[in-house]
Structure 1
Amino acid sequence: MTTRPRRRYTDEQRAEAVELCIKENLPCSQVAKRLDLHPSILSRWVRQARIDRGEALPVDHGLLNSAEREELSRLRKENRELRREKDFFKLAAAHFAREQLPQKGFG
């Protein structure tokens, strides 16, 4: 079984494919076949577009619109960075604390 190389799609390409499904009321599988896309990719784009437009399930079902997804991603990245900084300062504090302790033994 050979796998196709991962293709990149522009925002415009995604929007056009989604609009075919939503405005033309065509099934994702039919549009995906016409555009040579995998149906699951297109259905994921359509689901996200409906969430962004407020046409999908309410927010209390844990669905995030694109702006919320971007913010979550940014906050997770910031959180990782802050944890690394905290760990670094914790190690530095431990190092300097060891230097301040008197040497053990009778010397």
Structure 2
Amino acid sequence: METRQRRSFTDDYKRQAVDLVASSVRSVGSVAKELGLRDSVLRRWVEQRGAGREPTAASRRPTTQAALPSADQAAEISRLQRENERLRMERDILKKSIAIFAGVRT
């Protein structure tokens, strides 16, 4: 049976991986998969680096209350939602036209 070589990582790499987890909204598991690590390894690094650290502003923020968007943000969200719906409709039309030209029934 072939033995696997144990990988070692520099402290700088570990710090960057932990910073990536802290700065993103993705889970530890998804970041670990992207980096080619086991999630337990990355989770351990996060716990080791997080010990003795002040909680970030995001973690201190109450999670039960949603911040209300300003009028400008609400208008932008509304515009983006309309655009998103229009793009979905265009995509569906294109899918149907491709199916028609390919001779496939949907």
Q: TM-score range by the shorter chain?
A: 0.3 to 0.5
**Rg larger for:** 1
Give TM-score, length-normalised by structure 1: 0.45
